[in-house]
Chains A and B, each alone.
Chain A
Amino acid sequence: MKYFLVFLLIGLFSACIEISDDLTLNNDGSGTLRYKINLSASKVKVNSILALDSLDGKPVPSKAQISAKINEFVRILDAQVGISNVLVEENYTDFIFKFSCDFSSIRNLQDGIKLSIAQISNEKISTSADQFWLSWDGNTLVRSIPSYITQQIKNYKLEDAELLKEGVYTSIARFERPVASFENKLGTLSKNQLAVMVRTNTFDLKENQHLLDNTIVLTPR
Chain B
Amino acid sequence: MSQLFKMVLGLVSTTLICTATQAQLQSIQSEQLLPKDAVTVFSINNISLLQKISMDDLVNYEFMSEVHQELFDGSTSGKTLKDAGLDFNQRLNLFYGKSNTHELTGFTFGVANKTALFEVFDDFQVVESPLTGLEIYGTFFNQLLIYDNKAILIRIEPTMEHIDAVTDSIWYARGNEMPFDFFEEAPQEEQILDEQTFEDNPNTNVFPEATENPAVKNYYELRDSVQVMLQQAELTRVIDEIFVKGINLYNFDPRFAAQLTHNAEGVFYLDNARNLDKSEGLWYFQTVLPSLYKDIQELYAGNVILGDLFLRDNQVDFEVEAQYGPALGSIYSQMNDAKFDQNVLAYIPAESPAYFTYNINLEQAYEQAYKVLLPLLSDEKNAQIAMNVLTLELLNEFINKEALFDTYKGSMFGTFNGIKKVKTKKIEFSYDEETFAYQETETETEAEMPIFTLGFSTARADVPELVLKHMSRLSSRVQRFENYWRIDNAILDAAPLYIINTGKLLIFTNDEDLARLHPKGYGKGALGKKQCKAAKQSGFMYGSVDIPKTLDGFPTEVLTPRNAEIVSSLKGKSGQITLTSSETNTEHTTFKISYSFEGTESTGKHLLDLVNSLYLIYTLNP
Which residues of A are at the interface with B, using a C-beta cutoff of 8 A? 14, 18, 20, 22, 36, 38, 40-45, 47-48, 51-52, 55-56, 93-94, 96, 122, 157, 168, 170, 172, 174, 190-192, 194-195, 197
Is B175 interfacial (CB-CB < 8 Å)? no
Interface residues of B in 92-107 (CB under 8 A from A): none
Name the distance in Å between A163's Cβ and chain B's nearest Cβ.
8
A43 touches B433 (CB 8 A): no
User: B46 at the A/B interface (Cβ < 8 Å)?
Assistant: no
Query: Residues on B close to A: CB < 8 A?
Result: 194, 422, 424-429, 431, 433-436, 438, 445, 447-449, 492-495, 557-558, 560-562
A56:B492 contact, CB within 8 angstroms: no
Q: Are B560's CB and A55's CB within 8 A?
A: yes
Cβ contact of A191, chosen from B428, B433, B494, cutoff 8 A: B433
Q: Do A44 and B435 have beta carbons less than 8 Å apart?
A: no
Q: A47-B493, A56-B561 are in contact. Are A190 and B429 (CB under 8 A)?
A: no
User: A172–B436 contact, CB under 8 A?
Assistant: yes
Contacts of A157 in B (CB 8 A): 561
Residue pair B438, A190 in contact (C-beta under 8 Å): no
Are B561 and A192 neighbours in the complex by a CB distance under 8 Å? no
| Chain A residue at minimum C-beta to C-beta distance from B492 | A47
Q: Which of A14, A42, A44, A197: most chain B Cβ within 10 A?
A: A44
State whether A94 touches B427 (Cβ < 8 A).
Answer: yes
A47 and B431 within 8 A (CB): no
Please measure, in the bound complex, the distance between the C-alpha atom of A48 and the C-alpha atom of B424, giving whole angstroms.
14
Across the interface, which residues of A come within 8 angstroms of B493, CB to CB? 43, 47, 93
- Do the beta carbons of A43 and B557 come within 8 Å of each other? no
| In contact, B492 and A44 (Cβ under 8 angstroms) | yes
Q: Is the CB of A48 within 8 A of B435?
A: no
The 6 closest A-B CB pairs, nearest first, are A47-B492, A44-B447, A40-B426, A41-B426, A40-B427, A195-B436
- Does A38 lie within 8 Å of B429, measured CB to CB? yes
| A40 touches which of B194, B425, B435, B560 (Cβ 8 Å) | B425
A122 touches B492 (CB 8 A): no
Determine if B194 and A122 form an interchain contact, defined as CB atoms under 8 angstroms apart.
yes
Which A residues are CB-close (under 8 A) to B431? Answer: 170, 172, 197
A18, A52, A168, A190: the one within 8 Å of B436 (CB): A190
B560–A94 CB distance below 8 A = no
**Do A197 and B436 have beta carbons less than 8 Å apart?**
yes
Task: Give bound CA distance, A92 to B426, whole Å.
Answer: 13
- List 7 A-B residue pairs with CB atoms under 8 Å apart, sorted by A's residue number: A38-B428, A43-B447, A43-B493, A44-B494, A44-B495, A51-B492, A190-B436
- Flag if A45 contacts B557 (CB, 8 Å): yes
19 more CB-based (< 8 A) A-B contacts, given A43-B447, A194-B435: A38-B428, A40-B425, A42-B447, A44-B422, A44-B448, A44-B495, A45-B557, A48-B558, A52-B560, A94-B426, A168-B429, A170-B431, A172-B431, A190-B433, A190-B435, A191-B433, A192-B434, A195-B436, A197-B431
CB distance from B177 to the nearest CB of A (A): 39
Judging by beta carbons under 8 Å apart, are A43 and B429 in contact? no
Interface-centre pick from A42, A45, A93, A157 (highest chain B CB count, 10 A)? A45
CA separation between A42 and B557, bound complex, in Å? 11
Chain A residue at minimum C-beta to C-beta distance from B194:
A122
The one of B426, B429, B494 that contacts A36, using a Cβ cutoff of 8 Å: B429
Which residue on B lies nearest to A159, using beta carbons? Answer: B561
Residues of A within 8 A of B422 (CB): 44
With both beta carbons as reference points, the residue of chain B lying nearest to A55 in the complex is identified as: B560
Partner of B435, one of A55, A56, A96, A195: A195
A41 near B445: Cβ-Cβ < 8 Å: yes
A106 to chain B minimum Cβ distance, whole angstroms, is 20
Q: Which residues of B contact A96 (CB under 8 A)?
A: 427
Evaluate contact between A44 and B449: CB separation under 8 angstroms: yes
Bound CA–CA A51/B493 (angstroms): 11
Residue of A nearest to B622 (CB): A57
Task: Specify which chain B residues have a CB less than 8 angstroms from the CB of A42 in the assembled complex.
Answer: 447
Which A residues lie within 8 Å of B436 (CB)?
172, 174, 190, 195, 197
Chain A residues whose C-beta falls within 8 Å of the C-beta of B560 in the assembled complex: 52, 55-56
Decide: A45 and B447 in contact? CB cutoff 8 A.
Answer: yes
